[in-house]
Structure 1
Amino acid sequence: MSFTVTLRPSGHSFEVDDDERILEAALREGFAFPYGCRNGACRSCLGRLIEGEVDYGPRKPPGLSAQDIESGKVLCCQAVPLSDLELEVRDIGAARDIVVKILPVRVVALERLNHDVMEMRLRLPSTEQLTFLPGQYIDILLKDGRRRSFSLANPPHRSEYLELHIRHVPGGHFTGSVFGGMAPKALLRIEGPLGAFFLREDSERPLLMVAGGTGYAPIQGMIEHAMETGVERPIHFFWGARARADLYRHEQVRAWADAWAPLSYTPVLSAPLPADDWSGETGWVHESVLRAYPDLSAFDVYLCGPPAMIAAAEKAFLARGLPEDRLFYDSFEYGADTLEALQSDDGDVG
């Protein structure tokens, strides 16, 4: 048995097979749905149920609150229709022409950026190219069938290789191999580009970009793309980390801000070390944003980083006037298999 999902406001519709999730069906039918982790945690695929009924199985997805349910919100990556549906979702038309591919890649360089972040550079076959939007991510397909997701840190115009920023998780299977001596010429398989976190270029509003840790990676791609294409609207980048060493491209960003008028840069440390001799902003990065911009009603905001940062910033920013449809985020969630592995001290970032 199948059900029809009708999207609002576009009026487009597609069929969802029995026991199939809404997002799976939408992607199969070529619809550009917003999504991120695909395991019910990051909330990127949140839509509003106008009519119909859905089911999530025995356990409610971690990214869906009781308040969400009461207000008719639905997580499309986990929801299975129980009837025909009318669903309101955010349009991401810019991604419609992007082709998702599975490709072999070769590791051409591994460079430590600090104590726990590695830059990995991947080269595509000479006969292939990957068209993507600044901020999207790829999945590395492991031999055991698992996946590891990493944001593309390079902008589309800098495409001689794909650049990933990989944080080491102690005991992690994949990150352990990256930090434990992976051969520079190793062969991997990837799928991408994926995700709905990318720079929207149809807006003239000023931009606030907020990153935590390696959430800097997709922001780097966005900023480089904005510089290359001559964006003139103001961009203020806030980068939150624990200590100075965690701001692994601090000098690069400062140089960009000094040389390019639209860009401002505010680094924020939550636990600076005495040796850091830090006189800049401290505390939580989203609180630093609000000190600088008490009213967010006129901005577009891009967030990328750990789940706790995303959740706190989303709540605080919406309360300060940011329209929900001007908040774009990518939560660096762990996949379900990785969460289980971490509980036994064997997992890596997903």
Structure 2
Amino acid sequence: MSEILLEGGAHRFHCERHDTVLGAGLRAGLGLPYECTVGACGTCKFELLEGTVESLWEDAPGLSARDRAKGRKLACQSRPTSDCRIKIRLDEACRPLDPPRKQPAVFVSSANITHDIREFRFRTASRAAFLPGQFALLHLDGVAGARAYSMANLANDEGEWHFQVRRVAQGVGTSVLFDTLEPGACVTLDGPYGMAYLRKEPVRDVVCVAGGSGLAPMLSIARGMADLDMLATHRLHFFYGARTPRDVCGEAQLRVLAGYGDRIVFHPAVSSVEEAAREAWIGYTGFVHHHVEETLGAGFTGYEFYMAGPPPMIHAMQEMLHVRHAVPASQVHFDRFF
């Protein structure tokens, strides 16, 4: 076990042998800044002032050449090999309400959502504690590094964790999940993580925008709104962007929630004009961010936005919301993945 001291001496925490600086800091209740937890975004950069660390991913894209030249490290990819002193700016917004914990999780079952998205259900011995919209890390046998997947369900005493995962071509992690994992198999689950969770006291109606397996956290937020009776006073516009008609999903899960069709409105969009025509698609054809803009029309600052999906979708939504409609960053919630 190593001791991590933050510059200035105001905070220190212990890091278990196989834990990362980020994981140990969050488990200690500190607001270490982060987003993706898998080395891609660079939000968790720190300076190593004293001591040594092992890098889990030397070529992680979250570090630039300039960062490397200055000796910066990624907290999510650094395992201390000695006591360390580091320089990092804490962010109170990142202080976990439910500190993440590592625990064994048993694979229970799976079910197809679409032709390439499947829901995988795991169970832990302790309560599944997380906020709607958060994610967890799965450590799978034979897979180097953790894989981040969002929960589609809600916190529960039964220890149920439901992940909706899209198969990635040549993806090592998804190959294990889709092709190898059998019910009864045990993995290591580390969570919860994520800042794009449902705010429980909104003053605005909510817009959820999902693409691909970004469906999972947006469904969790929709279910959270229903569970907290927020739909009695607020509306939810739920947009789902797909490439082809057969990729569209989410309506079946929303339809069972109280208020569907009245307080909850589902807006699917298909981006491939050729596939839409070939399959006689009668819904919206075009990119989902255009569908959001055309549907809402005006008054964008009157909504709270949650987003999860491919990076191009997130970037297009950001430009549309912030540049064209001047929506404050405080009203737009997403976790960056690449």
> Normalised by the size of structure 1, how large is the TM-score?
0.73
Name the % identity. 27
**Aligned mates of 1:30, 1:88 — CA distance in 2:** 11
**Gap change, CA 1:311 and 1:149, over 3 Å in 2:** same
Alignment: residue pair count: 301
| Counterpart selection for 1:301 from 302, 305, 311 | 305
**Aligned mates of 1:90, 1:139 — CA distance in 2:** 22
Tell me the equivalent position of 2:247: 246
Q: 8 Å contact 1:240–1:270 — kept in the other structure?
A: yes
What is the letter of the counterpart of residue 279 of structure 1? Answer: I
What is the letter of the counterpart of residue 243 of structure 1? Answer: T
Q: 8 Å contact 1:107–1:120 — kept in the other structure?
A: yes
Tell me the equivalent position of 2:133: 135
Tell me the equivalent position of 1:312: 316
**Gap change, CA 1:298 and 1:282, over 3 Å in 2:** same
Q: 8 Å contact 1:99–1:131 — kept in the other structure?
A: no
SS at 1:91 equivalent? helix
**Gap change, CA 1:290 and 1:38, over 3 Å in 2:** same
In structure 1, list runs of 5 or more residues that go unmatched: 7-12, 47-57, 65-74, 334-350
User: Structure 1 residue 328: deviation in Å?
Assistant: 0.5
Q: 8 Å contact 2:127–2:159 — kept in the other structure?
A: no
**Aligned mates of 1:84, 1:201 — CA distance in 2:** 33
User: Structure 1 residue 118: deviation in Å?
Assistant: 1.2
Tell me the equivalent position of 1:117: 117
Q: 8 Å contact 1:151–1:217 — kept in the other structure?
A: yes
Tell me the equivalent position of 1:91: 93
User: Structure 1 residue 264: deviation in Å?
Assistant: 1.5
What is the letter of the counterpart of residue 278 of structure 1? Answer: W
SS at 2:215 equivalent? helix
User: Structure 1 residue 207: deviation in Å?
Assistant: 0.9
What is the letter of the counterpart of residue 111 of structure 2? Answer: E
What is the letter of the counterpart of residue 102 of structure 1? Answer: K
Tell me the equivalent position of 1:338: none
What is the letter of the counterpart of residue 163 of structure 1? Answer: H
**Aligned mates of 1:266, 1:44 — CA distance in 2:** 32
Tell me the equivalent position of 1:265: 266
Alignment of 1:57-72 (within 5 A): none
Give CA-to-partner distance per residue, 1:83-107, whole Å, 9 cap, x none: 977x5846256x42x1322111111
Tell me the equivalent position of 2:49: none
User: Structure 1 residue 251: deviation in Å?
Assistant: 3.2
User: Structure 1 residue 124: deviation in Å?
Assistant: 1.6
What is the letter of the counterpart of residue 282 of structure 2? Answer: S
User: Structure 1 residue 233: deviation in Å?
Assistant: 1.2
Give CA-to-partner distance per residue, 1:205-241, whole Å, 9 cap, x none: 1111111111010111111111121102111111111
**Gap change, CA 1:274 and 1:256, over 3 Å in 2:** farther
What is the letter of the counterpart of residue 292 of structure 2? Answer: V
Q: 8 Å contact 1:156–1:225 — kept in the other structure?
A: no
**Aligned mates of 1:108, 1:317 — CA distance in 2:** 40
**Gap change, CA 1:161 and 1:32, over 3 Å in 2:** same
Tell me the equivalent position of 1:69: none
**Gap change, CA 1:251 and 1:202, over 3 Å in 2:** closer
Q: 8 Å contact 1:15–1:25 — kept in the other structure?
A: no
Alignment of 1:108 with 2:108, yes or no, is yes
In structure 2, list runs of 5 or more residues that go unmatched: 15-19, 46-57, 65-72, 79-84
**Aligned mates of 2:312, 2:117 — CA distance in 1:** 20
Tell me the equivalent position of 1:182: 181
User: Structure 1 residue 278: deviation in Å?
Assistant: 1.4
User: Structure 1 residue 175: deviation in Å?
Assistant: 1.2
SS at 2:93 equivalent? coil
Tell me the equivalent position of 1:165: 164
**Aligned mates of 1:63, 1:246 — CA distance in 2:** 34
**Aligned mates of 1:29, 1:160 — CA distance in 2:** 22
| Counterpart selection for 2:330 from 325, 330, 339 | 325
What is the letter of the counterpart of residue 114 of structure 1? Answer: T
Q: Tell me whether 175-184 or 193-202 shows the greater mean CA deviation.
A: 175-184
Q: Tell me whether 236-245 or 175-184 shows the greater mean CA deviation.
A: 175-184
SS at 1:180 equivalent? helix
Give CA-to-partner distance per residue, 1:270-323, whole Å, 9 cap, x none: 014334321221211112111223332222111101111111211221121210
Q: 8 Å contact 1:111–1:118 — kept in the other structure?
A: yes
Q: 8 Å contact 1:136–1:193 — kept in the other structure?
A: yes
**Gap change, CA 1:295 and 1:323, over 3 Å in 2:** same
Alignment of 1:191-206 (within 5 A): 191-206=190-205
Tell me the equivalent position of 2:155: 156
User: Structure 1 residue 148: deviation in Å?
Assistant: 0.9
Alignment of 1:215 with 2:219, yes or no, is no
**Aligned mates of 1:226, 1:169 — CA distance in 2:** 30
Q: 8 Å contact 1:306–1:331 — kept in the other structure?
A: no
Alignment of 1:292 with 2:304, yes or no, is no
> Normalised by the size of structure 2, how large is the TM-score?
0.75
Give CA-to-partner distance per residue, 1:164-193, whole Å, 9 cap, x none: 111111222221122225312222111111
What is the letter of the counterpart of residue 208 of structure 1? Answer: V
